[in-house]
Amino acid sequence: MSKAWKFEDNLNTDEIIPGRFNITIDPLELAKNVFCEIKPEYSKKVTPGDVIIGGQNFGCGSSREHAPIAIKGSQARCVIAASYARIFFRNCINIGLPILECTEAAAGIQEGDEVDVNLATGEIFNRTTGRQFQARPLPDFVLKIAGAGGIVNYLKEHDIQELMA
């Protein structure tokens, strides 16, 4: 069971982690300042397994991986948003931060709700309201990368050509 932390549309990478903290790539260090300007209580109160709920265009802005790394470092289980900014989406897949796309869940889950997520099936259940949601399926090659726990692990075992096979 996870608690939901809710964010607005167009949440940008500077709001996830301001550029001035990107002088380190240590996930735990980054996690100390994640969302520090828009939700300063997050880094103090988050418990491992909590879920981030975003709106449209989550993660827009910079190409920096510091943003998904900071979220992963905070031990959030996954992000559920209506849509993602392109680079952020790729970065999450590449570093192995699970992400789900689901417009209804993004609207139907509020801050503090208790949420169950099945990452394998994309099923999302809001225990607080009793509502069930289904996330959009991810393309095959994305699942291959996610299955390996990120692109780095994937490449240790596979040739990149196999992604498209």
Partner 1 sequence: MGTLIEEIFSRKAGRPVQAGEILLLDVDYIMSHDNTTPLAIKAFREIGKPIHDKERIVLHLDHAYPAPNILAAENHKKIIEFVKEQELPHFHRQGVCHQVMLEEGYVTPGAVIIGADSHSNTYGAMGAFGAGLGSTEIAVAWVTGKCWFKVPETIRIELAGRTQPGVYAKDVMIHIVGLMGMDGGTYRSVEFGGEYIESLPMHERIIFPNMSTEIGAKCGLIAADEITLSYLQTQTPAQGPFEMIRPVHPRYERVLEIDVSQLTPQVACHPDVDHVKALAEVAGLEIHEVYIGTCTNARYEDLEIVAAMLKGQKVHPLTRVIVTPASDRIYKKAMKNGLIEILMDAGCTVTGTGCGACIGRHGGILAAGERALTTMNRNFIGRMGSPLAEIYLASPATAAATALTGKITDPRELLKSPFSTPQGAAQ
Smallest distance from partner 1 to CB 132, Å:
27
Using the rule CB under 8 A, is 37 a contact of partner 1? yes
User: What is the distance between the alpha carbons of residues 84 and 103, in angstroms, rounded to a whole number?
Assistant: 11
Stretch that binds partner 1, among 17-25, 43-51, 71-79, 110-118 (CB under 8 A): 17-25
Among 2, 5, 7, 15, binds partner 1 (CB under 8 A): 15
User: What phi and psi values does residue 21 have, to the nearest 5 degrees?
Assistant: -95, 0
Using the rule CB under 8 A, is 61 a contact of partner 1? yes
* Residue 154, C-beta contacts closer than 8 angstroms, at least 6 positions apart: 144, 145, 148, 163
Stretch that binds partner 1, among 44-52, 112-120, 128-136, 148-156 (CB under 8 A): 148-156
Neighbours of 21 (CB within 10 A): 16
Smallest distance from partner 1 to CB 162, Å:
10
Using the rule CB under 8 A, is 150 a contact of partner 1? yes
Smallest distance from partner 1 to CB 85, Å:
6
Neighbours of 18 (CB within 10 A): 15
Size of the site for partner 1 (CB under 8 A): 41
Which amino acid, residue 143? L
Q: What residues form DSSP beta bridges with 134?
A: 123
